Amino acid sequence: MNARFAAALLALAAAGPIHAQEPLADLAGRLAGMSAPVGYESALADFIGTLLPTARRDRAGNLLLPPGPNAARRLVACPLDEPGWVVGGIRPDGYLTVRRLPGRTPPLFDQHLEGQRVTLLGRKGAVPGVVAVRSTHLARDRPAIEAPFTSDQAFIDVGARTAEEARALGIEITTSLTGAKEPHRYGSSLLAAPVAGRRTACAALARAALSRPGRTATVAFVVEQGLGMRGLLTAVNESGPFEEVLLLDGGTAADAIEVAADSVRSGPIRLAVTRWTLRTRFGGTPVETVDLDDAAELERRLAAWLGGGQ
């Protein structure tokens, strides 16, 4: 990975390394402050790796923390990726056009892009930009009812006046981008940020793993969950077989932590998976919100599970 690129992304989370004593709320906020669009999760994985120095990376880019001796064949995984976009073109006037990355996206995902701040993950570091808003003067003769805004209509302004100036910032075709991250604490225990549930679940898993040095399961922070669970399936195929697989995420749930049985296909084999879903509000929006008290309960349950409990 380009060292300047990695350093710039780490700075988005906060200054200084993470450590075992960092409160869950702070760690969740720092992870939620980083961009990791699907296929571009390396910097976030590296960041978590500073907390888990015995972890290793596999060929898919997953971060894997091995279990203690005589452990059961169990795996707990938390996805790192999020939906995002890439630069599709660089115009002569310096504006950038956009294409959505493949994979699942929440409803109205593109509509949340119009008129917003964005962060581009350029080869020289993070580049701030804004998505231009359509001129009301040009809208006079348009039909009263228009099709919803899509990323194909987006023009990103990074302050460049020419294509050469844009490229000088380290921007090129396929440079990835997400909405600008600014995690927001409100109420007594609430955290709002894009994919806040998923990032908070990963923070809870990292802390639970540190509290259980003799853990009975492999811990994985997996990539490309939005691309057919490629990271999870690679971890299973390379480090398995596993008798039990636990998958964490954020999402709509009636309880603080919803438990559900599921299965995923790995080649000709269908793998049984248990999902633990951390309850969120306003899911799939820039203000997805998680209750940090629920996250603390998730951490406690994960620590017990890693110790051999259910």
pLDDT given at position 265 = 72
Same domain, 68 and 123: no
pTM attached to this predicted model: 0.89
Q: Which residues make Cβ contacts (< 8 Å) with residue 92, sequence separation at least 6? A: 162, 163
pLDDT given at position 271 = 81
Number of domains in the chain: 2
Tens place of pLDDT per residue across the chain (310 aa) = 443 444 444 444 444 555 557 899 999 999 999 999 999 999 999 999 999 999 999 999 999 999 988 788 999 999 999 999 999 999 999 999 999 999 888 888 999 999 999 999 999 999 999 999 876 654 555 555 567 888 999 999 999 999 999 999 999 999 999 999 999 999 999 999 999 999 999 999 999 999 998 889 999 999 999 998 999 999 999 998 899 999 999 999 999 999 999 887 766 667 889 999 999 999 999 999 999 999 999 999 999 999 887 6
pLDDT given at position 9 = 46
By residue range, what is the domain housing residue 223? 3-82+183-306
CATH number (domain holding residue 278): 3.40.630.10
Same domain, 69 and 114: no
Same domain, 78 and 45: yes
Same domain, 111 and 224: no
| Phi, psi dihedral angles at 122 (to 5 degrees) | -75, 165
Same domain, 96 and 231: no
pLDDT given at position 120 = 96
Same domain, 66 and 207: yes
Same domain, 42 and 104: no
CATH number (domain holding residue 90): 2.40.30.40
pLDDT given at position 309 = 72
pLDDT given at position 14 = 44
End of a domain among 114, 146, 179?
Answer: 179
Same domain, 218 and 257: yes
Same domain, 121 and 238: no
Residue type, 145: I
Same domain, 91 and 70: no
pLDDT given at position 20 = 54
Q: Which residues make Cβ contacts (< 8 Å) with residue 100, sequence separation at least 6? A: 83, 84, 85, 109, 110, 151
End of a domain among 159, 179, 199?
Answer: 179
Q: CA of 79: how far to CAs of 15, 27, 38, 219, 238, in Å?
A: 24, 16, 10, 11, 17
End of a domain among 122, 151, 179?
Answer: 179
Same domain, 70 and 107: no
Same domain, 226 and 256: yes
